[in-house]
Amino acid sequence: MKLLLDIGNSRLKWAFLNPELQAGDAIAHAGSAFARILDTIRPEAAPTEIRAACVASPDICHAVESWARLRFALPVHWARSQVSVAGVRNGYADPGQLGVDRWLAVIAAFHRAHGAAFVVDAGTALTIDVVTAGGQHLGGLIAPGVATQRRSLRNQTQLRASHEDASMAWLAEDTDRAIALGTIHGQIGLIERVRAGIFAEHGDMSLFLTGGEAPRLASELSMKWQYAPQLVLEGLALLPPESFSLPK
């Protein structure tokens, strides 16, 4: 059994590969003792391999390596962005600059769609990536996520919302709802604008939505989106062994 870890900016997600992908769980880790969070992962049997993707701080990645050695006496096989793997070609001039979470999500979406895919990962950052039917990654975009935008308003202005959720409307009658709705509309507008432009240039393609903010956005987006909460983990499962690096 393989243990798969997706270590994001603010959440840890995991799943098991045995031999099919089996759902695990997710937990927020920002500001928490990471070693204790890792101990919430309780597989039914000891894994034979640990695969991981990390876009969090180096300290967190090192904590994962220490935990894996102490708990299971195993090294961590780290996924990395490459020029080409699993039928997908990286669209970045420097492939290593593409976040490994985005790379894995694109690979998983391409295999799910059996062709062209438009991938939105809505988390601490909102990312958009596109892959053609032939497996060419066209590139992507990065923008602040909903919670990040709201935190920036609190840090950079005198606005202090007492709540951050609101039923959808075009306009708000108070500051709390104005912030809640404005940040949601901003995400939806960006996604819909880019999708329309990509469809006009490249034709229709499968639409995938993942990330912690995805459920909040899903009901407000037009067209039919596939909600795929484990997309990065699915990408980890698809990689061949030579796609990973071991701790030095």
Instruction: Examine residue 239 and state whether it is found in any structural domain, yes or no.
Output: no
In a domain, 94, yes or no: yes
Calculate what percentage of the chain has a pLDDT beyond 90: 60
For 57-77, b where at least 16 C-beta lie within 10 A, e where not — what string? eeebbebbbebbeebbeeebb
Options 101, 121, 129, 204, the catalytic residue: 101
Residues 103 and 180 in one domain: yes
Query: Under a CB-based contact definition with an 8 Å cutoff, are residues 65 and 48 in contact?
Result: no
Length of the chain: 248
**Does 110 share its domain with 93?**
yes
Q: Answer yes or no: do 69 and 110 share one domain.
A: no
Mean pLDDT (whole number) for 61-87:
94
Structural domain ending residue among the three candidates 22, 45, 79 = 79
Query: Same domain, yes or no, for 61 and 114?
Result: no
Which CATH number belongs to the domain containing residue 65 in this structure? 3.30.420.40
Burial class (CB in 10 A: 0-12, 13-18, 19+), 162: exposed
Across 31-36, average pLDDT: 71
Report pTM.
0.91
pLDDT of residue 248: 57
Burial class (CB in 10 A: 0-12, 13-18, 19+), 48: exposed
Enclosing domain of residue 14: 2-79
Residue 164 has pLDDT above 70, yes or no: no
Same domain as 129, residue 176: yes
In order of 120, 184, 225, the CA distances from 221 in angstroms are 12, 11, 8
CA angle 247, 110, 65 (to 5 degrees): 15
Does residue 9 sit within a domain?
yes
Task: Provide the mean pLDDT of the chain.
Answer: 91
> Which whole-number Å values give the CA distances from 44 to 14, 16, 74, 130, 240, in the listed order?
14, 10, 17, 37, 24
pLDDT tens, 82-114? Answer: 999 999 999 999 999 999 999 999 999 999 999
Q: Are residues 137 and 116 in the same domain?
A: yes
Task: Tell me, yes or no, whether 73 and 139 share the same domain.
Answer: no
101 is catalytic: yes
Closest CA to 122 of 141, 108, 100, 138: 141
* Cβ-based neighbours of 52, under 8 Å, separated by 6 or more: 4, 5, 6, 7, 61, 64, 76, 77, 78, 79, 236
> In this predicted structure, which of 33-37, 133-137, 156-160, 173-177 has the lowest mean pLDDT?
156-160
- Residue 243 domain-assigned (yes or no): no
What are the φ and ψ backbone dihedral angles of 61, each rounded to 5 degrees?
-60, -40
Does a structural domain hold residue 208?
Answer: yes
Q: pLDDT grade, residue 189 (50/70/90)?
A: very high
Least reliable range by pLDDT among 24-28, 55-59, 84-88, 166-170:
166-170
> Do 91 and 141 fall within a single domain?
yes
pLDDT in tens, 137-154: 999 999 999 888 888 877
Tokens describing residue 213: 């903010």
> Do 104 and 36 belong to one domain?
no
Number of domains in the chain: 2
